[in-house]
Amino acid sequence: MSYSEHAIGFVCDDEQLLGILSQPATPASIGVVIIVGGPQYRVGSHRQFVLLARALATAGHAVLRFDYRGMGDSSGTPVDFLNADADIDAAIKALLVQAPTVKQVALWGLCDAAAAALLYCDGKPDPRVTALCLLNPWVRSQASLARTQVKHYYAQRLLQRAFWAKLLSGHVAIGAVAGLIRNLRLAFKGGGTGAEAQLPFQTRMANAWRGFGGSLLLILSGEDYTAKEFLEYANADPAWSGALTQHNLSRHDVADADHTFSSPQSSRAVEALTLAWLANLEKSAIS
């Protein structure tokens, strides 16, 4: 399907935001807002968001990818994923104004953009948002990072003969051993105190996830520590109990994919999974 692509401007808290709208002549009823994660702008790593938006638009979906306040071509002071609610709301409004045939919106986010999508839905359900596509969600804390490193890095190292040979010969740096001990303490101390207590966003994410009434698509990279950390957190934290087995969740693991799905094969896999998910949502909306 052919589509047009053009820049649009819209306002968020008196600042001017810029987005790129990929719009078919007759958009499907479900549109997509791509939320940008990290200190980057609407193009994404290796033009990931450009390629995704065009693939979805070719399939009939209106797609808006945009810059947060203070990023890319948007004015204002930069905001992070913890404070992006107003930006996301403004982008949804802009998409619906530009594509009035769109009746439902899916939020698509990678890493801390996935966290931003969930935080946007926390405590204030938006009836316009009926679907969330979340890739390698960010739940970083000192304890969760330590558990992930102990399980997926140090555990492998401790099983390697070369590691013990270096250790016994004194060729393993003292700092590396101290790092292992520090991570073991963090990983197994349990509880949510100190720095952990200052990071309530993980619990807010869990609350939004479990309370979301629409469709959830979870895509995880097979070779990514952020994805592994998310699974460790979701399986260990009581707030996430049962979240990975909800009836409205579809989960797909992309083997050998890195954090941003940078290889052509993994990028195409993400596009195909997103397209199939949206197609099923369209069928459900029609029936």
Q: How many residues does the chain have?
A: 287
Average pLDDT rounded to a whole number, residues 41-56? 97
**What's the pLDDT at 183?**
46
User: What distances in angstroms separate CA 265 from CA 57, 189, 271, one per listed residue?
Assistant: 20, 40, 10
137 and 265 part of one domain = yes
* CATH number of the domain within which 51 lies: 3.40.50.1820
Q: Which of 139, 171, 127, 12 is nearest to 76 (CA)?
A: 12
Could you read off the pLDDT of 53-100 as tens digits, one per residue?
A: 999 999 999 999 999 999 999 999 999 999 999 999 999 999 999 999
- 151: confidence class by pLDDT, cuts 50, 70, 90: low
- 143: confidence class by pLDDT, cuts 50, 70, 90: low
**Domain interval for residue 163:** 143-188
HEC string for 189-218: CCCCCHHHHHCCHHHHHHHHHHHCCCEEEE
- Predicted TM-score (pTM) of this structure: 0.82
147 and 231 part of one domain = no
Of 129, 162, 188, the position where a domain reaches its end is: 188
**What's the pLDDT at 28?**
97
The share of the chain scoring above pLDDT 70, in percent, equals 79
133 and 153 part of one domain = no
When divided into structural domains, the chain yields a total of 2
Long-range interactions of 69-72: CB distance < 8 A, separation 24+: 69/12, 69/13, 69/15, 69/17, 70/15, 71/36, 71/39, 71/40, 71/41, 72/18, 72/41, 72/42
Burial class (CB in 10 A: 0-12, 13-18, 19+), 211: exposed
**What's the pLDDT at 123?**
76
Residues 6+ apart with CB under 8 A from 162: none
The mean predicted confidence, pLDDT, of the chain is 88
Could you read off the pLDDT of 215-232 as tens digits, one per residue?
A: 999 999 999 999 999 999
